[in-house]
Amino acid sequence: MTNENPGDRTVEELEEDVQTVEDPGALDDLLTDEEEGKDRKTAKEVIQARIDELEAETKGGEATEDTETEGEYEETAEDVEDPEEAEETAAESDASDSAADADTSDDEAEGDDGLTHPTADKKHVRALDDGVYRDMWVYCETQGGELLDVSKEMLGKARELMDDYETEYGGDERVVAVLVGDDMRDLAEECIALGADVAVYHDDDRLERFRHKPYTEIVADMARTDADWKEYDKPRYFLFPATNNGRDLSAQVQGELDSGLASDCSGLTITNELISNPVKTGTPGEKVDFERILHMKRPDFSGFEYSTILCIDNPDREFHPQGCSVIPGSFDAMEADPGREGEIVSHDIDTPDDWYRVEVTDWDTLDTGVDLTGREVVVAIGRGIGDDPTEGIELALDLVDAFDDADLGLSRGVVTASYSVDGHVEQYVSEERQIGETGQIVQPPLYIAAGISGAIQHKVGMDESETIISINTDTDADIKDFSDYFIEGDLFEVFPRLTEAVEAGELDAVVAEDDD
């Protein structure tokens, strides 16, 4: 409705339509359109009345009277509980989550595991009173006693952002590495060498493997608890790896810290942003310059464009840390400097035995998998193999074998298509070969894409390759726009010619011929 020109409707029609709009920002845009169009007084009064109505609902509802400051929480009669009753309530909640969800009123804000901070009902969380936010935190995931590559990459990007931040804003804010596990001291020192100014670690031999509950509570406690080394309430920014464990932890920690999360990001910048949305500014028509906003770039759900996510405060609500999870391979790690100095902090918190009630007693170790990131050549195939998937894979493997150092990659379309293939190639149709936003990020000297349309999810996984050759029957395919060479043709016909050319050392000539 709000995409239409308000001047195309009568005042009566407009009054009826705006009653269905719940977004003050959309109404503000509608008001602007009316002012710049017919500028009817009665029409503007109708729109403004709906804006005022929504604003009154927000300020006059439960969120005003029952909301408590997360950092300055004051107990009310409803919040004060007998410790024994609290334990009984927690036990009942564990026994029947659905019943608890149905029976818990908006006025209840029970703590979890004896903690005093109110996180049960996010509608009742207000801004900290004069909250102070500083530094960029990076959760550094480990495996087998080593930092994951994505942890090193995030430290490198964080270092770059904070160096630019100091130049732009004059603030001396730090990169803070966060580690949880067993025997983390040496890895904390490695984080300093890789760009961190501070490395905070929590050691516990029970945390050698990722555990959902204790990891969440420990990292959240690091971020919000007063400590000698940090004179602020919460981090300004928080980066997590977009791995299985990282996605799990990031959502839980950001929820505990009463903020939001942008997931699977591949681009980060910090800049100011001029915002006119009254939900954010508090006043329709007013523009506010929000400073030091983390712009978190990720492929959007359409698959064809990028979206930039902002975590911006409301008038009565501060969203800090501004947090996101980062796709592995999106950034470069900085070269380690063993002589680099920084502060190492050992974190301590009493961890109830109940946090460890789930114990992993047996597990299998997976194979190392397929790592495409170090290959000189990656030959990737997409849905274009659909006419004969088995032959398509065979032809791609023939081309792979013609190179000295090459491997096969897949688009998500192949992984999810459930093609029927013969057994001898079935091993190659696996998610671990997927390239893109939810797969591997590669940047080889030569990337050959066949039968791939070039959706944004795939592009983010390979567009940093030095030379990109794409093969497609569709001359309007998006991948053509970011390819160095585009070959119009059927991969079933082109692959054999490329294989022959590589074996004869004549690839450049064939590419030039087909590109013409």
Predicted confidence (pLDDT) per residue in 207-260, tens digit: 888 888 999 999 999 999 889 999 899 999 999 999 889 999 999 999 999 899
Element (H, E) at 426: helix 423-426
Of 15, 26, 24, the closest CA to residue 56 belongs to: 24
Check if the beta carbon of residue 336 is closer than 8 Å to that of residue 194. yes
Check if the beta carbon of residue 239 is closer than 8 Å to that of residue 263. no
Distance CA 65, CA 50 (A): 22
Distance CA 393, CA 227 (A): 57
Model confidence at 84, in pLDDT bands (50, 70, 90)?
A: very low
Mean pLDDT over 286-299 rounds to 89
Q: Give the end-to-end CA distance of the chain in Å, rounded to a whole number.
A: 48
Q: Indicate whether 305 pLDDT > 80.
A: no
Share of the chain above pLDDT 90, in %: 44
Distance CA 452, CA 449 (A): 6
Q: Indicate whether 87 pLDDT > 70.
A: no
pLDDT tens per residue, range 365-413: 666 678 898 899 999 999 999 999 999 999 999 999 999 999 999 998 9
Q: What are the strands, taking DSSP E only, across 391-484?
A: 406-410, 446-450, 467-472
Question: In whole numbers, what is the pLDDT of the chain averaged over residues?
Answer: 81
Predicted local confidence at residue 59, as pLDDT:
61
**For 257-271, 278-292, 353-367, 444-458, which range has the lowest pLDDT when averaged over its residues?**
353-367
Buried b (16+ CB within 10 A) or exposed e, 232-254: ebbbbbbbbbbbebbbbbbbbbb
Q: Indicate whether 187 pLDDT > 80.
A: yes
Q: Indicate whether 502 pLDDT > 90.
A: yes
Check if the beta carbon of residue 258 is closer than 8 Å to that of residue 345. no
What one-character DSSP code corresponds to residue 468?
E
Q: Which amino acid is located at 47 in the chain?
A: I
Give residue for tokens 């001359």. Answer: 475
Of 395, 414, 389, the closest CA to residue 498 belongs to: 395
Mean pLDDT over 115-122 rounds to 45
pLDDT tens per residue, range 42-56: 888 888 888 888 877
Q: Which amino acid is located at 482 in the chain?
A: F
Predicted local confidence at residue 302, as pLDDT:
58
Share of the chain above pLDDT 70, in %: 82
Give the bridge partners for 137, in sequence order.
176, 238
Predicted local confidence at residue 4, as pLDDT:
64
Strand, coil or helix: 494: helix
Cis amide prior to 6 (ω within 30 degrees)? no
